[in-house]
Amino acid sequence: MKKTISTLVLVSMLSSGALWASSGENTNPTQAQSSSVKEAIQKEQQKQTTLLEKVNTNVVAGMEHVLKAIKLLEEKKDDEALSALETAVGKFEIALAAEPDLKLAPVDGYVTLFDLVATPDFIKQQIKEVQKLLDEGKVQEARILLSSLRDEMVISTVYMPMGTYPDAIRLAVKYLRDKKRDQAIATLDTTVNSLVTKSTSIPLGLIRAKSLIEQASKLDKDKGKEKILKLVKAAREQLEVANLLGYTQGYDPAYIDLKKQLVELEKEIKGKNMVEKLYEKLADSFADLLKKEASHSKK
């Protein structure tokens, strides 16, 4: 089955500059900097899509033959459907022979993007509004508002349960051979619906913050101090966005450490000390937190 990328970009509640705005201070990036952040998100999206491509080809081929058989049965082509199912069973047997302990085999996947453009202050405002609506018993209005507060990349992978799926297809084959067409169709319907989908979320705020720090690290501290400080401030805001939206927890030691590192970096940029090691440590910390939050969001 072909991998697909499904992208859903929420309508921004503020202008594109809102992402970078802070109280009374202009932190708008240059066009190149904004493009770099978008490229970072696209790069992560492509990385996740590539990972979804790593599937067992025999399992996927077997699944395609099952779907083909269902279509043939709808067209009353029972003999051709039987042949397709027998081919599917053969593909599953090859896969299981190669990996006898195979439990869940990925057969499809997609990446969905929820891109929210908002400042920390705006998000706080929206959360208060949600709480107010709930207090007033306006649950549906609160639900609609709350559903817009998503800023994440969702990686969904569809798995085939190899412990039950191949056996069910064998049973459908037996029914067709015995001319029990209705039982075969019912078995196939149940089997197709047994596929399992697991999703993982990656906070876009963390991806943006990491990208901003990477940009800052490439600038000359002595010549571009003002630009660097704006990038670091924007990164701090994006880290806060991820926290306010619940993708990270304020009490998490990793989150607290990352905040401290950004404050320390800002302080050192204003001073005369070298900051290269701070950038390296921040890059590692962002990578660790992204990995941690992604693993926590699996469902």
pLDDT score, position 15: 28
What's the whole-model pTM score?
0.74
Q: Identify the three-state secondary structure at position 3.
A: coil
pLDDT over 50 at 23, yes or no:
no
| pLDDT tens figures, 201-237 | 889 999 999 999 999 888 877 777 888 999 999 999 9
| pLDDT tens figures, 49-61 | 776 666 688 999 9
Q: For residue 138, what are its two tokens?
A: 């306006």
Note whether 129 and 145 are within 8 A (CB): yes
Please state, in angstroms and rounded to a whole number, the distance separating the CA atoms of residues 73 and 191: 15
* 293 vs 199 pLDDT, higher one: 199
Strand partners, 160: 105
First-to-final CA distance of the chain = 22
pLDDT score, position 219: 86
